[in-house]
Amino acid sequence: MERTLVLIKPDAVQRDLVGELIQRFERKSLKLVGIKMMALSDDLLDEHYSHLVGRDFFAEIKTFMRSTPIIACCWEGVDCVNTVRTMCGITKAREAAPGSIRGDLAMSVQANLVHASDSLETAEVEVARFFNANELFAYEDVVNPFVYSSREK
Ligand code: IDP
Ligand code: MG
């Protein structure tokens, strides 16, 4: 079963959307296997946004991401990396599809509420970047037989 990293960003914390965002993933029937509030360090952000080093907005994103603590979540599900990206919508929130988190709830490119891992390889690296092994939990999901058919797992 895939796992993916979601970060609930400072704009969601300030706008009291933490519960709404967690609820969207819960209602989709993704399984929550890790969650914590964190203040992000400069070093961690350099690593996490290393693909954006050199862009003129790099310093601004780091300041934004450090403006409040964030909520890190690890979600599990069949094909959940792509599913969660689709649920988040495209980066430029004001053009994101209605029905997606960004499409429904945000207008900005920078303040777009959530981070979600963009591939299975990235997800593995990112989950390990934000969670220690003992902060991730394996437990029986009793509704699982009603979420997936036996052939899908
Ligand atoms: P993603 O979050 O949709 O995967 P990335 O390209 O990985 O988008 O960028 C990471 C984050 O950096 C975005 O979610 C957004 O907060 C910020 N960002 C990306 N491009 C811009 C930009 O052109 N201006 C300001 N912030 C940006
Ligand atoms: Mg990205």
Hey, which of 109, 122, 125 would you mutate to test ligand 1's pocket, going by the most ligand atoms within 8 Å of its Cβ?
109
Predicted pLDDT at 114: 98
Q: How far is the CA of 19 from the centre of ligand 2 (A)?
A: 22
Predicted pLDDT at 18: 98
> Beta-carbon neighbour count of residue 4 at 10 Å?
28
Predicted pLDDT at 153: 83
> Beta-carbon neighbour count of residue 134 at 10 Å?
7
> Beta-carbon neighbour count of residue 16 at 10 Å?
8
pLDDT by position in tens, the chain (length 153): 999 999 999 999 999 999 999 999 999 999 999 999 999 999 999 999 999 999 999 999 999 999 999 999 999 999 999 999 999 999 999 999 999 999 999 999 999 999 999 999 999 999 999 999 999 999 999 999 999 999 998
Q: How far is 81 from 58, CA to CA, in rounded Å?
A: 25
Q: What domains can be seen in the chain, in order of their start residue? A: 2-142 (3.30.70.141)
Q: How far is the CA of 131 from the centre of ligand 1 (A)?
A: 22
Strand partners, 77: 2
Q: How far is 136 from 1, CA to CA, in rounded Å?
A: 14
Structure tokens at 24: 């969207």
The SS3 of residue 78 is coil
Predicted pLDDT at 124: 98
- Whether 137 is in the pocket of ligand 1, judged by its Cβ within 6 Å, is no
Q: Which residues have CB under 8 Å from 60's CB, separation 6+?
A: 110
Q: Cα–Cα distances in Å, from 46 out to 22, 34, 85, 109?
A: 26, 23, 22, 19
